Chains A and B, each alone.
Chain A
């Protein structure tokens, strides 16, 4: 409802499918092509999914994510030093053979903190996205299937929430209730709910008038069964696309919150928080203390965005 006009489509003309779609950071603006991708995704066959394995961008993204998952799980075993051990005499040391990424203000090994810092962000983001996807799917199914005043009222509320940038609204709630792994997970999940609900609603509206839906209603199935047993399996591919897109955004949001100081409390290694803690060192010329965690965040966000983008391309091609 953000005012985009449905453009007349030329019969037989090549549809302007994007080779790459930037991750959606404003909070879920789906342009004309985004909405088309959702519809296309709900028509995908298993053969389409296998095309994914032939995409270089998918493999690039997946290997980077896998690398960080290994770091998150086995971080403390891989890291050359204890990420919490302070060596005040070796503080602010430049990268060397002893400390490949240098040391921070407290003399802690930056490489070890980057490796172990993967853990919290990789716990929070999938859980938060999953929570948002489950709640958003339920809400979106109800909005699309029940329709009427229920849909209108919820749509208005969703639109009001979307009037705020996603990070701002997450920030507002995290400030209000405090930041723990649990609260950040729940807040990001809840803020994702309306975004995902809107996408699912779009997909459900397409399915709603299909013959199989009418048939199952004529058979006397109740609404819940039609929604979850008949429509849900048909919109599932669209939900998978939505999940991966949101996952990239969750990584971005969690990193931003912790950069702003509303993430995981120190001294736990955390990329965003480490950047903030060592920011004064950056201006003094100790670039390695902030640059490596910054690049770690960038690599993870970009990797998830690449995966999301490959899936979207494969399904909507």
Chain B
């Protein structure tokens, strides 16, 4: 197992390095002249050059990449073009906010999705299955801003039951923060429900059709015990992978939800950096999303190896 994990870790580092190349290319090479982008078309050439020099973007590309990469390894994410100060505190605060929203969405959707998937599997091919599966498909194919707008119209504007901005303001209590986050969390729940339910359903059906489940039924165990002790344990393995891969989406796909509800998270940070041509901030935000995804995938791999004896003994994949 150690060899397997080491291999995964090596791949992870390789992936992150390639990711840094892609982001550097998109953030530093494609946009052309950052000073011009920040100051606009009306600025004089000399002030653009001065800013370029101040930002260090008039150096050769390789030097810029190496110093950027070196900074990253020391935890220095760069200097914001707009704020002219370190990017790191902005990214840190935004990440914490995004994690709050993501955790709330996960806490709602994981039990709901697994429950939905298991129920659909138990009623495979019947009405309950069709209803759950079609609902999942419809909900997860609708963009977040569409479901968000429908929710705002219903709960925020018509019923006035929930706040339509996500930030509760500084110093707000936990409950107040929670109340503000409910509406933004629901579009994320909608999207994720379909995936989790789908994987839980497929896993459960497979486990239900297995020999060990049949044996458990034949030896007279009550259905509830069969499902709880024999089926669920095996069916939830693939679901864990899905949940982990969705973490990347959740942290990254927040761009839309956070913009819609004006929440100061990572997505909103990326959006504002893009609008303001603050490429240093943009790169840092995108890189963090990549890191979160890669780390979540690694955690899923470790969890799977711990939970699945076949992999633990087999060693490599």
Measuring CB to CB, which residues of chain A are less than 8 angstroms from any residue of chain B? 1-5, 7, 10, 13-14, 16, 18-23, 25-27, 29, 31-33, 156-157, 159-161, 163-165, 167-169, 171-173, 175-177, 248, 252, 255-256, 259-262, 272, 275, 279, 282-283, 285, 287, 290-291, 294-295, 297-298, 301-302, 305-306, 309
Contact flag A176-B30 (CB < 8 Å), given A21-B198, A25-B191, A33-B202: yes
19 extra A-B contacts, CB within 8 A, seeds A21-B137, A282-B153: A2-B300, A3-B8, A3-B244, A5-B308, A18-B198, A26-B248, A31-B241, A161-B22, A163-B294, A164-B252, A165-B248, A169-B22, A252-B141, A259-B145, A291-B153, A294-B150, A301-B142, A306-B137, A309-B137
In the complex, the 8 A-B pairs of residues with the closest C-beta atoms, listed nearest first:
A160-B18, A165-B252, A176-B30, A22-B194, A16-B205, A22-B140, A20-B137, A305-B141
Count of chain A to chain B residue pairs whose CB atoms are closer than 8 Å in the complex: 215
Name the distance in Å between B32's Cβ and chain A's nearest Cβ: 9
Which residues of A sit under 8 angstroms from B238, Cβ to Cβ?
4-5, 7, 31-32
**Is B82 interfacial (CB 8 A cutoff)?**
no
A-B contact pairs, 7 of them (CB 8 A): A5-B237, A20-B136, A156-B11, A156-B15, A160-B22, A176-B279, A177-B30
Name the distance in Å between A194's Cβ and chain B's nearest Cβ: 11
Question: For residues 226 through 245 of chain B, which have their beta carbon under 8 Å from a beta carbon of chain A?
Answer: 237-238, 241-242, 244-245
Name the distance in Å between A307's Cβ and chain B's nearest Cβ: 11
Contact flag A2-B153 (CB < 8 Å), given A7-B206, A165-B252, A259-B145: no
Name the distance in Å between B207's Cβ and chain A's nearest Cβ: 9
Which residues of A sit under 8 angstroms from B198, Cβ to Cβ?
18, 20-22, 31
**Is B311 interfacial (CB 8 A cutoff)?**
yes
Contact flag A256-B256 (CB < 8 Å), given A21-B137, A160-B22, A282-B149: yes
Contact partner, A260, options B140, B241, B255, Cβ 8 Å: B255
Contact flag A26-B249 (CB < 8 Å), given A156-B14, A163-B15, A302-B141: yes
Give A5 to B206 CA distance when docked, in angstroms: 14
B11-26 Cβ-contact flags toward A at 8 Å (1 or 0):
1001110110011001
Name the distance in Å between B227's Cβ and chain A's nearest Cβ: 16
Which residues of A sit under 8 angstroms from B304, Cβ to Cβ?
3, 5
Chain A binder among B83-91, B102-110, B167-175, B268-276? B268-276
Contact flag A171-B202 (CB < 8 Å), given A7-B238, A22-B136, A163-B19: no
Which residue on B lies nearest to A6, using beta carbons?
Answer: B317
Which residues of B sit under 8 angstroms from A18, Cβ to Cβ?
133, 198, 201-202
Which residue on B lies nearest to A288, using beta carbons?
Answer: B153
B199 touches A31 (CB 8 A): yes
B115-145 Cβ-contact flags toward A at 8 Å (1 or 0):
0000000000100011001101110111101
Secondary structure of the B contact surface, majority rule: helix
Name the distance in Å between A52's Cβ and chain B's nearest Cβ: 17
Which residues of A sit under 8 angstroms from B255, Cβ to Cβ?
167-168, 171, 260
Which residues of A sit under 8 angstroms from B248, Cβ to Cβ?
26, 163-165
Name the distance in Å between B157's Cβ and chain A's nearest Cβ: 6
Measuring CB to CB, which residues of chain B are less than 8 angstroms from any residue of chain A? 8, 11, 14-16, 18-19, 22-23, 26-27, 30-31, 125, 129-130, 133-134, 136-138, 140-143, 145-146, 149-150, 152-153, 156-158, 164, 191, 194-195, 198-199, 201-203, 205-206, 209-211, 237-238, 241-242, 244-246, 248-249, 252-253, 255-256, 259-260, 270-271, 274-275, 277, 279, 282, 286, 289-290, 293-294, 297, 300-301, 304, 308, 310-311, 317
B202 touches A32 (CB 8 A): yes
Which residues of B sit under 8 angstroms from A260, Cβ to Cβ?
255-256, 259, 271
Give A5 to B27 CA distance when docked, in angstroms: 36
Which residue on A lies nearest to B247, using beta carbons?
Answer: A26
Name the distance in Å between B141's Cβ and chain A's nearest Cβ: 4
Name the distance in Å between B82's Cβ and chain A's nearest Cβ: 14
Contact flag A294-B249 (CB < 8 Å), given A16-B201, A32-B238, A260-B255: no
Contact flag A282-B15 (CB < 8 Å), given A22-B140, A25-B140, A176-B31: no
Which residues of B sit under 8 angstroms from A294, Cβ to Cβ?
145-146, 149-150
Which residue on B lies nearest to A290, using beta carbons?
Answer: B149
Which residues of B sit under 8 angstroms from A26, Cβ to Cβ?
245-246, 248-249, 253
Which residues of B sit under 8 angstroms from A290, Cβ to Cβ?
149, 153
Contact flag A168-B289 (CB < 8 Å), given A19-B129, A256-B256, A309-B137: yes
Which residues of B sit under 8 angstroms from A161, Cβ to Cβ?
22
B249 touches A165 (CB 8 A): yes
Give A15 to B197 CA distance when docked, in angstroms: 17
A4 touches B194 (CB 8 A): no
